[in-house]
Structure formats: C-alpha cells, structure tokens
Chain A
Amino acid sequence: MNNIETNAMEMEKVKMFSEKIATVKNELAKDVVGQGEIIDNVIIAIVAGGNVLLEGVPGVGKTRLVRSLGKVLSLPFSRIQFTPDLMPSDVTGTNVVEKDENGRLQTKFRPGPIFANLVLADEINRATPKTQSAMLEVMQEHKVTVANKAYKIKEPFFVLATENPIEQDGTYPLPEAQMDRFMFKLIVNFPSSDDLVDIVKMTQITMAETAQGVLNGDEILAMRALASSVPVAEEVLRYTVNLVSNTHPELENTPSSTKKYVKYGASPRAAQGLITAAKVRALMCGRYNVSYEDIDELARPVLRHRIKVNYTAVNDKLGADDVIGLIIKETKKVR
C-alpha cells in the first residue's frame, strides 16, 4: 500500500471517529436517560485511556451506565462491590492450590474480578485503605503482581469507580495518590424532572438493558491512537500548563484566588490528562486540533479531585469547582 493510499485510509478513519462516537452515544441513550455530559466525559476518558470516578447519590444510574457501556463497547465487564471486609486478594486474585491431572498439588493463579476490560469498582470508598491500594498498581500500570509474579491485564482496561457522597460512616476517603490515578471525577447529579419522567416510564416497561455492542476493544485502541495524533498549538499547550501551575499557591505569579482558597495544587498528571482528553474531545467535536474551549470544558473533571481547597473556601462556601472557575478566569486573561 503506498503512502497515498495509507493516508487516505487514515483520513477515512479520522472522519469516522465522530460518527462512531455518535453511534456509541445513541446506543447508550437506550439504557441511560439524560446524563449527556457524564456520558460524553466517560467516553472521552475511555478513548483517552483514563479511569473515571463517579460520585453521586444512590439510584442515579451510575452502575447502569457502566454496565451499558460495557455492552456497547463489547468489553468484558466486571463489577466489584467494595465493602469494608473486602480483601485485596478479592480484587486482584490469588494463588490457589489445586491438583493437576496427575493428581499432584500445584498452585494456580486464579484471577480476581479486576481482570476485565471494564471494571466497575462500586463504592470504592467503603473498602479499607489496604484494599484500595491494591487498585493503585492495576489502575496505573494495568497489571497485577501476586506472589512476585506480574499478570498483565488485557487492553483496553478501564476502571470506573463510584462513590456515595452521603454515607460517611464506615468509609475510607481515597488517598491523594489513588485519586490522582483517575483521569476524571464526574459528579452524577439527580436527574431533571423530565429525565426522571422518562426514566420511570422506561423502567415501567422493562428494567432490562437493551443497548447493543457497536464498538470493540481494538476499535477503541485504534481510536485512542488516532486521538493521540491530534495536533496541539503551542499557545494552547502553554495555556494548559499555566492552568495547572496556577492551582499551586506556593508558586510565584499565581492568581490571588489560588493563594486565597487552595491548599494543595494538582499534579503534572493533571496537565497530561487535560491534553489527552482534550484531543479526544476535539475529534468528538469534529475538529482536528485542540482548542482553549476543550481545555476549559475538561478542566473541572480533571482538576476537581486533584486540588484541595482550604477552610477559607469552605467559609466562603466555595467548592473545588468554584475555585477552578476562578483560576480559569484569571488564567484566561493572559492567553
């Protein structure tokens, strides 16, 4: 195949990207009512290769969304219900002693529920820190080490974790190191009245999930590779870096709002995650370059779980999203 033909195929793939995304969204809409922004961001994270933390009250469709997503993406789905008594080996798997065909005892690794392409870690904040830390390696490196032996997890691999913001008793807040492994933190809000009406109507008919698979893992990987080639202008890159730097109050020239409201800033993973996700978003929007708008739109999902606001912000009734909004406003002035 000559270069011209290769290029033509590549261009065809790029053009098909947004069509495929639209197909995925349409299919998901059959099982999940509303939550358009959540679905967009989840798709972005999956294509970008990131993990997502979903926070919302019970019954807003977090689990249903992830399950439907697994079906639509034709990915083996696994659900882990985290409880305080859950052990790390319950997640990663463990070696068991078995008799072989000759009757001799041998140890065999029995993989845990983590060995799937799409893992739903339900109520992850209920697990003990020890169990939570078991997720760290797999989320970052996509492999599990048991008895000094590493077991690779098949790509694509995503962890979609959920958190219940209401229950505080018997929960263990996720450590910053683990929070940093999530590309996005998405707040699943209570559905609107119209959406709730549709949900009730639909579930009265059937509770079954009717979405069909329209994508597979290889296609997702191909889309990921395609998205990574989206060009980013130097100005946009600098803006992204400035935005993340401006979340650090200890640095010079940071905005006054940062110095006033932020205790800890975001890690460099935030900048990486922003650019990676922005590329996917650009393609989803039918563009072939990253814009400031992509960065601004993805700033809150990427940064809200990575910065820590101080008591001044709490006193002023400002949450992480509000503070991020102020930082964006200040950073925009110099672009």
Chain B
Amino acid sequence: MSKNFVKIRNRNACARWIKSILLGLTFGLLVGGALLALSKFGIIPLLPIWILPIGAGSAALVWVAAWLILRRTDRAIAKKLDKKFELSERVQTMLEYEKVEGAMYALQREDTEASLAAIPKKKLRIKRLWIYAVAFVLSVATLATAVVIKPKDVSANPGPTPVAFKLEEWQRVGLETLIITVEASEMESPYRENVVQSLREMLEELKVAEMERQMEASVSAAIDEILLEMDKASWVIEFTETLWAGNNKHVRELMKAINYYEWGQGKEWSGYSDKMTNFINSFRHADETKKLEEGEVPDGVKMVAETAEALSLASASLSEGLSTFLSVYELDESDPLYAAFAKLNNLGIASFPQEDGLNHVYGLSALATQLESLGENGTLDDYKALFEGEAKLIRLIDALKKEIYDVLTPQYKNTNVGKNAVTEVCRILSYDRPRFDEPNLAEEEESEGGDQPSIIPPGNPETDNAYGGDEWILDYTKNELVKYGELFSKYEPDALDKARDESNSYTEEQRKAIERYFEILKVGFKEEGETNE
C-alpha cells in the first residue's frame, strides 16, 4: 500500500484516539464536577465517594462511543482525501487497484503517491483539535471549581428567617382574662379544669417563648387539647346529631325543635309548645269554655284528637328511634353515651307511663272520636276531661323536651366554651383559627305525607319577620289547620282596624292593650321587665 496513504491513515487513527479520549475525559470531568457541586449545595444527596466512579464511567462510555463514531474505513479516508485535496479520485482508484499489476496501474499508483506527498503537512493536522483542548481545559476548571467551593451549611439555614416573638402585655392580660372566663363558665367538670390547665400551660410557655415558631407550637398544642376536651364533652351532641341524621321524620322533627333553643342568653326553652299553648288558649279557652257551658260540642274536639295523635306518633317514633339507635350501636353500659341514651329512652317511656300512658293518648283519641259522635249527647265533664288530657299530654311533651334540653344544654355549653376559648386565643395571638364543623341545623326535610303536619320550631325572634309564621294551627272558624302566619295576617288587620275605629266603644287603654297583644304575638314573649322595642 502507498506509504503516504498509510501515514495519513495512521495520522487519522491517531486523531481519532486523541479526540475520543479528550471527549471522554471532558464529559467525565464535567459530570463529576457538576455532581460534586450539586452535592455540595445540597441539591442532590450524593456521597463524594460515588462521584469518582460515576465520572469515570461516563468518561469511558463517551470515549468508546466517540471512538466508534469517528471510525473511518480506508475507502472513506480515500474519498475524503480525494475530495478535500482535489485529487481527482486518485486515492480511491489506487486503493481499489492496489493489487493489480500493469504499467498503467503502476503509473497510477506512482502518480497518487506523488500527489499525496505533495500535500502540505499542515493541512493534514488534526482539525479543530483546539476545540477539544479548550473543552477539556474548561472541564478541568469546572471540576477544580467544584472541589474548591465550600459546601453549603444546610443546618445553619433551616429555611426562612425565623421571626422573633415576645408576649405583649395586652396579650398576657387577654389570655389571663380568658382563663378566668373559662373558670367561671358553665362548662362541666372535668372538661373545664382541663381546658383551664391547657390555657395556663400555654400561657407559661408563651411567657418564655422567643421565636414565633415556639409560640405557634404552644398554641397548636393548647388548641388540640381544648378540642379534645370538646369532643369528650359533646358526646350527647353527637348522639342527637346522629338522630338528626336518621330517616325517622318524627325524630327529626323533635331534634329540630330541640336544636332551636337559644344559647348563651340564659333563657329558658321558649319552645313551640308554650307559644302554641298561649295562642290557642287565647283563642280557645274563652270560646270553647263558653260552648261547653252552653252545652255545645266544641269544634276543637276533633283538633285535639288529631293533635294528640300526632304528638303520640312523634313520641312513639322517638322511643322507636332510641331503641333502634341503641340496638344498632350496641352500646355498653360503661359507655358515656349509654347513660344519655338510656335516660332519653326512659324519658320517653316516662312521658307515657306504662302501657296505660300510651293507651291514655290513644284513649284520648278514641275518646275524642266518641265525643264527636256523641254530638249533643256529650257531657261537659267529658269535654273537660278531654281538654285536661290534652293539656297533660302537652305538658308531658314539654317535660320530655325539657329533659332532653337539660341533657343537651351542658353539652352545648361545653362545646361553645371550648370554641370561644379557641377563638379568643387565636384572636389574641393572631393565629389561624381552626374550622369547627357545625351541624346543619337549617336543613329541613320534606314531609312524608300530607296528613301529618310537621312541627316547625320557632325561628329567632330577633331576626325573623313572622312569629312562627309557618306553624300550623287550627282555624276554629273553619275547623281546619292553617299556617299561623296566614291566620294571623288575616285577623291582625281586622282586629287593629276595629280597635282603632273611633266609632267603637274601646277605651284608649283597651286599644293599646289590643295593639300590644298583637305585637306580642308577632315578635314573641320577652322576659319580665324587657320590652319588645
């Protein structure tokens, strides 16, 4: 083979080795330097001992790949030489016919040899070797930089700049006042003592806390403890809310009634029954008593029986619901909820003592039916017994509600004391208040049937426009149940017009009494000494 071609080929091979080694080393050093820098800055968790094998491995891979890619056959080298130095395909021809004998071929080889020898050596140098060298130097510099830089002290920089905290005087006073308030609250023991203890411990920690994160930790711990006490103290609420979520309509009706009491204002249960009783009494007692005296069958007899039946069904459903709940949850006697369930269950039974109690209700219904059929043959004593029975039943239901209220009131007080304490702590210390899950008391279910009027609890007298406007009452003039609001709106203007009509013989005092009476009916009864203004 042509000596010059062999020289060039060897030079080519040498260039290939140099380039591939430089590429491999460059890549390996870059990878190693990058990994070292990243690990020093804490961006990647890599031990320095791993950097060497990773870098060496990458270098080897790139070296081998480059060596393979840069590989050239003799034919490719010949082609490149012919093209680059405009040798008119001499080298390719020479290579192809290098073993063929003959004068022409010998001359062709000589000619090619001379052409190759005439190529200036500087033109055969490795092209762009300086780029590889520069890249290599840069990679060395990268690694050196990575070695020299100091690792970042992660422990000294835990994140955002910590904020200092110092308990202000007004905050201390506010928290101490809160502790006193909780101590004086009606929260039951031992929950109250536990909440007070949590608040005291929190206060002591805040007095010595110097950083905001310390304050947040103390507040968070105290809130968790208070919420735990609230959970312990609100077990009956959970029970009633379970009943509330049940599918028994009558139970739900009663639960609605129970939940619509006024908390925190020291008021007694100004429940539906009082208002209904008073209203009915104001209309009924005078007229019906008169009818009784005159020997007429009161129109309210039928209403009483229906009312009694409705109430009995509600009571029976409550009893049924309690029994179902107890059987489903299989409470143990030692469970705190068991006592409440048992109490309510017994309360239900106590409202209708023994079977006779229930029969008394049904008896009243049956009596009412009989009385209706008696017509003019009914006696005054019969009617009186009926009304007395109705009144007793209403009182019993009221007593039931009161008992339930008595059971629940402390629970709600416990919960609200806890909530208020947490809210106050968060306000004083500008801490995000946790969200308390409130029961959806405003949810109203549709009636299952048309013949059982739902008992709608009274609304908030201070916010509602109508005084029990959606309550069902008996319109004695038509002997049918109507909504209180409709009946009231029908009678009130008529009554007030008559009262204000100067042609009538009402005195100024009577006129004012009538106006005041209807005002009371509209906005509800107030405590003695309070006014409706």
Task: Judge whether B96 and A231 touch: CB under 8 Å.
Answer: yes
Residues in B92-139 with C-beta less than 8 Å from chain A: 92-94, 96-97, 100, 102-108, 111-112
Most buried by B among A6, A230, A289: A289
Task: Judge whether B104 and A231 touch: CB under 8 Å.
Answer: yes
Residues in A3-32 with C-beta less than 8 Å from chain B: 6-7, 10-11, 13-15
A250 contacts across to B, CB distance below 8 A:
none
Residues in A231-252 with C-beta less than 8 Å from chain B: 231-236
CB distance from B142 to the nearest CB of A (A): 42
A229 contacts across to B, CB distance below 8 A:
102-104
CB distance from A237 to the nearest CB of B (A): 10
B100 contacts across to A, CB distance below 8 A:
231
CB distance from B87 to the nearest CB of A (A): 8
B97 contacts across to A, CB distance below 8 A:
231
Task: Judge whether A11 and B90 touch: CB under 8 Å.
Answer: no
- How far is A200 from B102 in the complex, measured between Cα atoms in Å? 49
B241 within 8 A of A: no
- How far is A232 from B102 in the complex, measured between Cα atoms in Å? 14
Q: How many residues of B sit at the interface, in one of the four size bands?
A: 10 to 19
Known: A235-B79, A287-B88, A289-B88. A7 touches B108 (CB 8 A): no
A264 within 8 A of B: no
Task: Judge whether B89 and A7 touch: CB under 8 Å.
Answer: no
Closest to A286 in B: B111
Pick the contact of A235 from B88, B89, B103 — CB < 8 Å?
B89
CB distance from A230 to the nearest CB of B (A): 6
A14 contacts across to B, CB distance below 8 A:
103-104, 107
A293 contacts across to B, CB distance below 8 A:
88
Task: Judge whether B89 and A230 touch: CB under 8 Å.
Answer: no
Task: Judge whether A288 and B92 touch: CB under 8 Å.
Answer: no
Q: How many residues of A sit at the interface, in one of the four size bands?
A: 20 to 34
Residues in B49-89 with C-beta less than 8 Å from chain A: 79, 88-89
Task: Judge whether A289 and B106 touch: CB under 8 Å.
Answer: no
CB distance from B95 to the nearest CB of A (A): 8
A119 within 8 A of B: no
CB distance from B81 to the nearest CB of A (A): 13
A290 within 8 A of B: yes
Known: A233-B96, A235-B79. A288 touches B104 (CB 8 A): yes
CB distance from A241 to the nearest CB of B (A): 15
Task: Judge whether B106 and A291 touch: CB under 8 Å.
Answer: no
Pick the contact of B104 from A10, A235, A292 — CB < 8 Å?
A10
Closest to A228 in B: B104
Known: A231-B93, A235-B92, A236-B89. A288 touches B102 (CB 8 A): no
Task: Judge whether B96 and A11 touch: CB under 8 Å.
Answer: no
- How far is A13 from B102 in the complex, measured between Cα atoms in Å? 13
Task: Judge whether B104 and A291 touch: CB under 8 Å.
Answer: no
Which residues in B have some Cβ–Cβ distance to A below 8 Å? 79, 88-90, 92-94, 96-97, 100, 102-108, 111-112
A80 contacts across to B, CB distance below 8 A:
none
Most buried by A among B79, B88, B96, B111: B88
- How far is A6 from B102 in the complex, measured between Cα atoms in Å? 10
B105 contacts across to A, CB distance below 8 A:
231, 288
A236 contacts across to B, CB distance below 8 A:
89, 92-93
A226 within 8 A of B: yes
Not counting A289-B111, A290-B89, a sample of 8 additional A-B residue pairs whose C-beta atoms are within 8 angstroms of each other reads: A10-B103, A11-B107, A13-B103, A231-B96, A231-B100, A236-B93, A289-B93, A289-B112
Closest to A291 in B: B88
A13 contacts across to B, CB distance below 8 A:
103
Task: Judge whether A289 and B103 touch: CB under 8 Å.
Answer: no
Closest to B79 in A: A235
Q: List 16 A-B contacts (CB under 8 A).
A: A6-B103, A11-B107, A14-B103, A14-B104, A226-B104, A231-B93, A231-B108, A233-B96, A234-B96, A235-B89, A236-B92, A236-B93, A287-B90, A289-B90, A289-B94, A291-B89
Known: A231-B96, A234-B96, A235-B89. A287 touches B111 (CB 8 A): yes
B79 contacts across to A, CB distance below 8 A:
235
CB distance from A232 to the nearest CB of B (A): 7
Closest to A226 in B: B104
A15 contacts across to B, CB distance below 8 A:
107
Closest to A12 in B: B103
A10 contacts across to B, CB distance below 8 A:
102-104
Closest to A293 in B: B88
- How far is A233 from B89 in the complex, measured between Cα atoms in Å? 8
- How far is A235 from B79 in the complex, measured between Cα atoms in Å? 9
- How far is A291 from B91 in the complex, measured between Cα atoms in Å? 11
Residues in A260-301 with C-beta less than 8 Å from chain B: 287-293
Task: Judge whether B93 and A232 touch: CB under 8 Å.
Answer: yes
- How far is A331 from B55 in the complex, measured between Cα atoms in Å? 47
Closest to B95 in A: A233
Task: Judge whether A292 and B89 touch: CB under 8 Å.
Answer: yes
Task: Judge whether A7 and B88 touch: CB under 8 Å.
Answer: no
